[in-house]
Amino acid sequence: MCKRFFNIYVFSIAILFGTFFVTNAQTADNLLQNENIFDTLSVDLKINGSDGHVEVVVGDRITISWESDGAKRCRSNWSKKDLPLNGKVSGRLSSSLVGSITVRIACKDGDGNREDDTVILKITRPSTTTIINPVPPQPPPPVSNVARESAVAFISEHDWVSVLELIPRAIQTSQNYIVPLFVVDKVNGIYDFGAIQKVLFSLKIQKIYVPRNQSVLRDFLVTKGYTVEISDDITINASVTVVSEREFETSAQASRYASLIGAQLSVFDSFKQYTNQNLYCVGAVPLLCEQRYTREQVEEMLNQRLHTNKIVLANSTDIKQGQFDGSAILAPILAAAKNQQLIFTNTPDVKKISDLIKQKSARFGITKGFLTIIGSPDYIATVYTTDEKRNLTATADSTLYTYINNDFIPDLATGRIYTDNLSTSSSYIQRAIFYEQLPRSNQVEVVHYDYVANPSDGVLSQTIANAFSKLGYQVRNKINIAERDAKLEPQDYQNAFFVYYSDHGWYNWLGIPSQNLKDIDGANIMAIGCSTCMFAEYKNPLLFCIKAIAEGAMSYMGMLGGGGNANTLSYTSALFSGKSLGEAFWKINGTNMLKEILSGQNGIPDDSIIFDQKWGLIGDPTLSLSPKYQFPLSDIKKIDDANYEIDLSGYTESKQTYRYNDYKNSNKEETLDGKSVLIFDSTSEFGNLYVSQQGVYPTDYHSMIIARLGPVAGSYSSATVTGLEREVVPLLPKEEQIGGARYLWVYVLHYGFGLRDEDSGFFTKKIKITLR
């Protein structure tokens, strides 16, 4: 059958006004009211896919479709010419068509028999939120008079309207054009400019654009020696202005959309002039607009065009001024600059936020990805109770917010960005965006005191320091074998690329009081000390993790709750294997994985499994630190459906006697004989291998390996392992579904890697796993 489609031409006089044409036909106004067609019909007629009563709004785009069976000829009251026997036409309704209209079609067969079908179309006037065209327009790319070769920045005061209107000027995604956009706040009536000024200096920026209505800020920046111009005077030759309803969440999504399509943004203001502009309106905007969208439609258009597995989450009520407040204003800046999804909650409730993350991840088609939380725990809570009877708590950043399936297997690599004021948080976000342009040190600091508490940890810290030195880093070794508490100086945190701190801590102390931290630009701190990020108990600007980020640190991995264990070696090796901060933090979740593996196993009651995760990452989880020297990656190789090889990369030192002093017993000398082994368990894949080590081999040593194998087609109930010492028979494999494919997690406990006492340096150990 030959199918021919009718062309529809639409001419819009003004918003919601137009004429509906078919080629060589009368206007729809006359034709739809013309009852003079065949007396009988044979056809199934639909409007917008419906047989029944259809309600639409003037200006809506409708689709009329029909199918006939055995017909030789069909005609309708919307065209004087014969129609195809099957087909469809689309167009917009004229403004004169208001009320109920009968749409009719008639068909005849070769013997003259006929059938008809009708659909009642009810047409109403539009409200201010009418959706005219759900198809995203494609305006030409903008041209800005901001010199691309110049080092410039935008700065606004704490005013969400001004900030959102600046985003499409500073970030033009269609041309891959991004310049820094800062938000400066006041503390005690004075601009808190220090952290922002340091970034401007590092990026060699001397020219700044500010909104016209912020003359006080403009004068302040001039006194600081900057050339200051008005951002409103920047000409962006875009063919479109996006006008948003004056509501923060709607305007934030509209700013993302404007940035993506190369348009200007105006948050609706009745005092503004909107003449001679091509307007795309989002939300309830009382203007004559070429296109209209709801916030949900804009979110869906962004989803279709971004194709990302990265989400930025903020609380839309977090826009007021005050200590620890206002962070949500920064979320659309980061999302626009890094092409990430942007979602909002309006509650701090952990369970509701977890449900939102799952819902949005499913909508975006994300199975494994990243979640950047912007805001303090006041607005997006983290600590919650996991076991009331045993008074156990966990941090949602490392548990609930990472799960988008009904298991304890992490799916989202998470991180949180916040400080005690908007200026320093804004500074951090720009440092994350422009990280590759900032200076970096080549120095690593390893800190470990209190050998008595855990001698094995002391030995491992020394081994980590040696491994870094072998790679080529300058290592400042702060390991003390005789004292309990670390005694550092402020300069110990300065000019350091990475600080590995394994000792005691408190909310405002990690070797030094937090108030003594100063200018630690570019530092990445892994803090094993207790309580250094306990916001719920110590909501204080001197909370060590907050002070560190405010003073220039790029990341801080520490305890959001009290004490607790974590696989800090895996985190460290992941960072120095080219992984992002979030993927490295994922390695902390070995205890989560163990809970998932152990639950439901024969002879292991679920209530015996302790789940007490305390850790969190302060920093952008999508950021890779680009270390100059990297640890080697491990690898999982699939031989066939049931057989796998794992190449474990590591570093070892020959067996020796380690000495330390027992400060609890008159500094009596103690010894530990053993062989230290480090395993670098990052692979090229996304979180498919966890190796957790405890102790010094062989004196007090065991290691846990959890590996994801697959995808698999067969059914397996056990596994065998070769290549390790004293392997324990693995537990039952646990299944995980990823994008419709089946994978199996295998758990192995063993007591050695088969290394000789004299082995030293970097190595690769092969093990084999067979599914049965």
- Judged by average pLDDT, the poorest of 227-231, 248-252, 449-453, 743-747 is 449-453
Please spell the DSSP secondary structure of 710-757, one letter per residue: ----S--S-EEEESSSSPPPPPPPEEEEETTEEEEEEEEEES-----T
The pLDDT assigned to 455 comes to: 81
Asked if 574 and 464 sit in the same domain, the reply is yes
- Of 614, 649, 665, the residue that ends a domain is 614
Q: Running DSSP on this structure, what letter comes out for residue 136?
A: P
646 belongs to a structural domain: yes
CB 295, CB 282: distance < 8 Å: yes
State the average pLDDT over residues 307-327.
94
Is residue 702 within 8 A of residue 749, CB to CB? The reply is: yes
Of 294, 315, 369, the closest CA to residue 339 belongs to 369
In angstroms, the CA 396 to CA 560 distance is 10
Which of 124, 140, 175 delimits the end of a domain?
Answer: 124
Query: Tokens 């997006």 label which residue?
Result: 380
pLDDT at 274: 81
Q: What is the pLDDT of residue 483?
A: 81
Q: What pLDDT shows up at residue 565?
A: 67
Supply the pLDDT for residue 629.
94
Check if the beta carbon of residue 354 is closer than 8 Å to that of residue 400.
Answer: yes
- Are 679 and 589 members of one domain? no
The enclosing domain of 46 has a CATH number of 2.60.40.10
Report if residue 232 sits inside a domain. no
pLDDT of residue 5: 28
Given a cut of 90, is residue 451 above it in pLDDT? no
Whole-angstrom distance, CA of residue 544 vs CA of residue 630: 28
What tokens does 275 get?
A: 């003449």
Q: Largest alpha-carbon pair distance within the chain?
A: 114
Residues in the chain: 772
| H helix intervals, 207-346 | 215-223, 248-261, 295-306, 331-337
Cα 243 from Cα 546, distance rounded (Å): 37
Give kind and range of the element (H or E) at residue 117. Answer: strand 114-124
Beta bridge partners of 374: 314, 417
Say whether both 584 and 682 belong to one domain: no
- How do strand 443-448 and strand 498-502 relate by DSSP bridges? parallel
Q: Are residues 697 and 577 in the same domain?
A: no
Q: What does residue 638 show for φ and ψ, rounded to 5 degrees? A: -90, 115
Same domain, 378 and 516: yes
Q: Quote the tokens at residue 25.
A: 């036909």
Averaged pLDDT, 578-592: 83
Rounded to the nearest 10 degrees, how much is the dihedral formed by the CA atoms of 231, 233, 234, 236?
Answer: 120
Residue 231 is assigned to a structural domain of this protein: no
pLDDT above 50 for 444: yes
Which has the minimum average pLDDT: 100-114, 463-477, 607-621, 642-656? 607-621
Q: Tell whether the model's pLDDT for residue 3 goes beyond 80.
A: no
Handedness of CA 573, 574, 577, 581 (dihedral sign): negative
Query: What 3-state DSSP class applies to 624?
Result: strand
Least confident stretch, 92-96, 415-419, 435-439, 616-620: 92-96
Using alpha carbons, list the distances in angstroms from residue 7 to 4, 10, 88, 453, 747: 10, 10, 10, 81, 63
Indicate whether 674 and 584 sit together in one domain: no
Q: Are residue 579 and residue 700 in the same domain, yes or no?
A: no
Strands 207-210 and 227-230: what pairing?
parallel
Nearest Cα neighbor of 242 from 175, 293, 178, 297 is 293
Q: Of 646, 645, 644, 772, which Cα lies nearest the Cα of 720?
A: 772
Judgement on whether residues 544 and 652 belong to the same structural domain of the protein: no
Q: What is the pLDDT, as a whole number, of residue 604?
A: 60
Q: Domain span at residue 97?
A: 8-124
Looking at the predicted structure, is the pLDDT value of residue 607 above 60?
no
Q: What is the rounded CA–CA span in Å between residue 612 and residue 596?
A: 14
654 and 527 fall within a common domain: no
* 51 pLDDT tier (thresholds 50, 70, 90): confident
Banded model confidence at residue 77, pLDDT cuts 50, 70, 90: confident
Does pLDDT of 70 surpass 80? yes
Is 116 part of a structural domain of the chain? yes
Residues 585, 643, single domain; the answer is no
**Do residues 573 and 647 both lie within one domain?**
no
- In this prediction, residues 286-312 reach a mean pLDDT of 91
Confidence of residue 561 (pLDDT cuts 50, 70, 90): confident
Residue bearing the bigger pLDDT, 188 or 664:
188
* Gap between the Cα atoms of 97 and 91, Å rounded: 13
To the nearest whole percent, how much of the chain has pLDDT over 70?
85
Does pLDDT of 670 surpass 90? no
Residue with tokens 């992490």: 410
How much is the average pLDDT of 7-14?
A: 27
Domain assignment present for residue 155? The answer is no
Confidence of residue 700 (pLDDT cuts 50, 70, 90): low
294 neighbors 283 (Cβ within 8 angstroms): yes
Which tokens is 277 given? 């502009």
Residue 698: band (very low, low, confident or very high) from pLDDT cuts 50, 70, 90: low
Supply the pLDDT for residue 57. 78
Cβ–Cβ < 8 Å for 736, 743: yes
CA 95, 99, 105: angle at the middle one, nearest 5? 95
Residue 389 has pLDDT above 60, yes or no: yes
Asked whether residue 221 is domain-assigned, the answer is: no
- What percentage of residues in the chain have a pLDDT greater than 90? 50
**Tokens, residue 169:** 């000027």
pLDDT given at position 592? 67
Q: What is the mean pLDDT of residues 418-423?
A: 95
188 domain residue, yes or no:
no
Q: How far is CA 491 from CA 501, 519, 520, 606, 660, in A?
A: 15, 9, 9, 48, 26
For strand 54-57 and strand 114-124, is the pairing parallel, antiparallel, or unpaired?
parallel
Would the pLDDT of 142 be above 80? no
**Judgement on whether residues 654 and 509 belong to the same structural domain of the protein:** no
For range 97-120, the mean pLDDT: 85
Mean pLDDT lowest among 45-49, 524-528, 645-649, 706-710: 45-49
pLDDT at residue 226 greater than cutoff 50 = yes
Neighbours of 735 (CB within 10 A): 14
**Per-chain mean pLDDT for the chain:** 84
Lowest-confidence range among 304-313, 335-344, 544-553, 691-700? 691-700
Quote the pLDDT of residue 91: 73
Distances 26 to 249, 420, 520 between C-alpha atoms, Å: 45, 67, 75
Spatial CA neighbour of 414 closest among 607, 598, 555: 555
In a domain, 33, yes or no: yes
pTM, two decimal places: 0.80
DSSP state of 600: T
Distance CA 44, CA 562 (A): 68
Report whether 74 contacts 82 (CB < 8 A): yes
Strongest mean pLDDT among 65-74, 430-439, 698-707, 735-744? 430-439
Show which of 74, 104, 124 is a domain's final residue. 124
Residue pLDDT, tens place only, 203-214: 999 999 999 999
Give me the number of domains the chain comprises.
3
Q: Which residue has the higher pLDDT, 259 or 36?
A: 259
Q: How far apart are CA 753 and CA 115, in angstroms?
A: 82
Query: What's the start-to-end Cα distance of the chain, in Å?
Result: 55
Nearest to 105 by CA among 81, 129, 136: 81
* Confidence at residue 568, expressed as pLDDT on a 0 to 100 scale: 84
> Per mean pLDDT, which of 146-150, 609-613, 765-769 is the most reliable?
765-769
pLDDT at 767: 93
